Structure 1
Amino acid sequence: MIRLSELKAEFSKLNLLSKHERMLELCGLLTSYLSESKITPIIVGGLSVEIYTRNHYTTQDIDLISDGRAQIDSLLTEELGFKREGRVWYHEKLELSLEIPGNFLEGNLEKVIQIELDSGREVSVIGIEDLIIHRLESAIVSQSAHPEWTEDYEWAERMFFIHKEDDQIMDIEYLMRKAKETKTDQLINEWLKK
């Protein structure tokens, strides 16, 4: 947990970091500050893909699933200088864009991982299994005849192969169970043949 004064002091140093580090540290600051209110933002979307692909994928914004939208809005706009348009907040100087698409994680909270940042703060990230499933579902929706032609498919496959041997990160049994439920199992079965 950090106080508002410490949050603002640390926030003012974010411009010294790379874009990727700025995004992660902003999430870490928000997580630490909001912990007193028992609010835990979870990184989803492109930034989670960037994390799991070890920066091979690049995103320009932060997507968080979180309760406390009004509290986050107040913090970002009144204290940290973000401008809000709809459900997106943007900080021009730091080139940071943040969106809270909802407060319900479409995935298993038990699979959410904690990552410790260089600063010592932690962030929560959607489980890789649910992220892979989401990307495959998106690939099927956008290109039902050939989902393998889509970027979403490509990144799902990359994440799978990067982490398939790491049972600390990916639970293959859970992934396959969810894949059957979402009818994406045929795609993953093809990967298992490789």
Structure 2
Amino acid sequence: MVLEYKATDGLVAEIEKKITEAFEVFDRESNKTVDVREIGCIIRSLGCFPNEAEVQELLAQIEVEEPGGFVHLEKFLPVMTKVLLDRRFRPIPEDVILHAFEALDENKCGYITKEDLVKHLTEEGEPFTQEEMEDMLAVALDPETDILHYRDYRTKLVSFDVPPEYISWNHL
């Protein structure tokens, strides 16, 4: 029982560290706050992939500072820690991601052009915002050719997972 508690303690500490590191990337003024519009990007950078309605549900649980629309780390941390402990919004498996990219690759050449990618992600399904699109393109595209080699990129989409040794029956 004591070992289980220590493992859970270690898990919480590791998760809180990851969340804080992700939050700090978007904390441009280094004052432990981020613009509320950055929350979706932060959540996704932690390997969780909620849709926009689910992001809004999470924001409803977090006290957002008015009128500026800022979120404090201390308010975000417990909500996001619970999301990761509960393993909510888990990423789609790599093989499913690969099949989705292959469906967009009409010429079956192993890559998607920037123009085609922007078209698919802004005109179909739940469209990306301009900011989300720019953030994704900055990471996804080959800087020399402006194309997405999706077989390489799919592994970047799964960035955080809870190590199996930290999972107790309480978190499954």
The TM-score with structure 2 as length reference comes to: 0.29
Greater per-residue helix proportion: 2
Higher relative contact order (Cα pairs below 8 Å, separated by 6+ residues): 2
Greater per-residue strand proportion: 1
